[in-house]
Amino acid sequence: MNYGSIARIAEKYGAKTSFDEKIAGHTSFNIGGVCDIIVQPNSAECIRELVAECRKSSYKYYIFGKGSNVLVSDSGLRGVVIIIGSEYSGITRDGNRLICDSGATLTKICTAAKNYGLSGLEFVYGIPGTAGGALYMNAGAYGGEMKDAVVYCDYLDSDGIVKRMERKDMQLSYRHSVFSGSDKIILSVCFELCERNAEEIAAKMAEVMHKRRDKQPLEYPSAGSTFKRPEGYFAAKLIEDSGLKGFTVGGAQVSEKHSGFVINKGGATCSDVVRLISDIKDKVYKDSGVKLECEILLIE
């Protein structure tokens, strides 16, 4: 397939496009093979038109944000990869609200909020995802979740119509939302924050970042916590109790710093990670009877 119609839409909007590029460079794991075509749309209208064309021409398509919660197949992806990231990342202030394009990173949003003297998102500082990816996952950390600050989002529904959804309808729960596994595409997210001294906000952000650097293996590529937190347990503790700290398959390893993270020690493939995850699940289940569930999404 040559995806000429997709390339023409991308060209019309001036959207970055590449053919036969490895997706690895667009993921935090630095893993994933060659994809047919990768487009980075720069407006909601461009996203809408690309998706409409994919649906009309029956092209398989994949939506990515910063690729920080995904593990992509070594054989890459056949179809159209649409990366909603830095090319579509505007942030607008409306009183105590920030309306963010879905490609805006949480880092950019937190920094903007601090500069405006708006508090309420400090807890997500350092999560390397976009507003869209974070809402999709209901990302959270240090006692807060996206659901604590989001008011509404605008999204593209399965008929290609832009709609608004209020928080109460988003079914936000632990690492899940109404968007998980659906074909809805988040276009923008509105957060409600409260006024606070910028220095206090900066101090909170620095504290959160310090905790991350202290506990997490940020020096290696990864996709964050590999597993969801099992009810009543901690995945990292179960993995450590099973003697799997440092356990390695190919280039993939259970981090020695934080057993809840699988890291790419160098040259890890998707198959390495998949085998490592499977071995961890088996051993932990055998030792503790707890079934670990992946938080990382396998895209193939």
Ligand X SMILES: Cc1cc2nc3c(=O)[nH]c(=O)nc-3n(C[C@H](O)[C@H](O)[C@H](O)COP(=O)(O)OP(=O)(O)OC[C@H]3O[C@@H](n4cnc5c(N)ncnc54)[C@H](O)[C@@H]3O)c2cc1C
Interface residues with ligand X (CB under 6 A) are 28, 63-70, 84, 102, 127-130, 132-134, 136-137, 139-141, 179, 185-186, 216, 218, 222-224, 297
Q: Give the nearer residue to ligand X in terms of CB position, either 143 or 232.
A: 143
Find the shortest distance in angstroms from Cβ 81 to ligand X. 10
Find the shortest distance in angstroms from Cβ 289 to ligand X. 26
Quick check: is 295 catalytic?
Answer: yes
Report the distance separating Cα 175 and Cα 3, nearest Å: 34
Q: Give the nearer residue to ligand X in terms of CB position, either 198 or 218.
A: 218
Q: Give the nearer residue to ligand X in terms of CB position, either 200 or 219.
A: 219
Cβ atoms of residues 17 and 10 within 8 Å: yes
Cβ atoms of residues 150 and 167 within 8 Å: yes
Q: Give the nearer residue to ligand X in terms of CB position, either 68 or 242.
A: 68
Cβ atoms of residues 83 and 132 within 8 Å: no
Find the shortest distance in angstroms from Cβ 79 to ligand X. 13
Considering 225, 242, 255, 259, which one is annotated as catalytic? 225
Find the shortest distance in angstroms from Cβ 228 to ligand X. 10
Considering 48, 68, 122, 175, which one is annotated as catalytic? 175
Q: Give the nearer residue to ligand X in terms of CB position, either 69 or 253.
A: 69
Find the shortest distance in angstroms from Cβ 222 to ligand X. 5
Q: Is 265 exposed, middle or buried (0-12, 13-18, 19+ CB in 10 A)?
A: middle
Find the shortest distance in angstroms from Cβ 72 to ligand X. 10
Considering 87, 122, 145, 295, which one is annotated as catalytic? 295
Q: Give the nearer residue to ligand X in terms of CB position, either 21 or 287.
A: 21
Report, as residue numbers or ranges, the catalytic residues.
Answer: 175, 225, 295
